[in-house]
Amino acid sequence: MQPFRRLTPFLLAGLLAGCAGQAAPPAKPVTVTELASATTTASGQPIRLPGGEIRVVLSDYRIAPAAKLPVHKHPYPRYAVVQSGTLAVTNEVTGETITYRPGDLVVEAVDQWHSAVNAGTDEVHLLVLDEVPGSGSNTILQE
């Protein structure tokens, strides 16, 4: 047992020296982090895609401070990610107002009248994704 105890510090020192010269493991070439997930719209409806072939549209929205969007609805799913600013969306059917801030995922109500307002002092910047059949629009204004 005596020799083993004497060699242990030397073995440990040798192992540590060998490890010290090694580089850190390389970074993973691709990482994926889920940022948000939803199975229902803002008003609790299950998310359903339109049937048949669809067109996916990505839009950049900029809404000035205090600007209001008129009462409107979307016949098909619409998703947005708030890049900056504060957006308050009021559902005319439920009466509920939800306030969205940077980083929030907005899953808009389908076929329910709602309006929105920039509720902050900075411009609201949204990246909006629509799924629509054909070349139609996904916004219907209330008359």
17 φ, ψ (degrees, to nearest 5): -65, -40
pLDDT at 22: 65
pLDDT at 9: 45
pLDDT at 94: 94
Structural domains for the chain: 55-141 (2.60.120.10)
Q: For residues 42 and 105, what is the distance between their CA atoms, to the nearest angstrom? A: 10
**DSSP H stretches of helix in the chain:** 2-20
Candidates 106, 88, 103; CA nearest to 41 is 106
- SS3 state of residue 17: helix
Quick one: 27 exposed, middle or buried, by C-beta within 10 A (0-12, 13-18, 19+)? Answer: exposed
From residue 45, how far is each of 21, 38, 120, 130 by CA, in Å?
57, 11, 28, 17
Q: How many CB atoms lie within 10 A of CB 77?
A: 20
Residues of the chain with pLDDT under 50: 1-16, 19
